[in-house]
Homo-oligomer: A and B are copies of this chain.
Amino acid sequence: NDITDNEAFKALLAAKKSAEENNVLVNIAVVDAGANLKAFIRMDESYLGSIDVAIKKAKTARYFNIDTGELGELTQPGGIIYNIELSNNGLVSFPGGLPIKNKEGKIIGAIGVSGGTIEQDRAIATIGAKSILN
User: A residues engaging B (CB < 8 A)?
Assistant: 2, 4-5, 8-9, 16, 32-44, 47-53, 56, 60, 62-65, 72, 75-78, 80-94, 117-118
The residue in chain B whose Cβ has the minimal distance to the Cβ of A57 is B87
Verify B87–A76 contact, CB threshold 8 A. Answer: no
Q: What 11 new A-B contacts, CB under 8 Å, besides A8-B42, A38-B41, A72-B82? A: A5-B43, A34-B35, A37-B51, A47-B65, A52-B88, A56-B87, A76-B82, A81-B94, A85-B86, A86-B86, A86-B92
> Bound state CA distance, A93 and B79, in angstroms?
11
Residues from chain B with Cβ under 8 Å of A41 in the complex: 5, 8-9, 38-40
Residues from chain B with Cβ under 8 Å of A88 in the complex: 49, 52-53
Tell me the interface secondary structure of chain A in the complex: loop
Verify B76–A48 contact, CB threshold 8 A. Answer: no
A41-B39, A43-B5, A63-B48 are contacts. A94–B82 as well, Cβ < 8 Å? Answer: yes
Residues from chain B with Cβ under 8 Å of A35 in the complex: 34, 36, 48-49
Residues from chain B with Cβ under 8 Å of A84 in the complex: 53, 92, 94
> Bound state CA distance, A53 and B43, in angstroms?
23
> Bound state CA distance, A16 and B8, in angstroms?
14
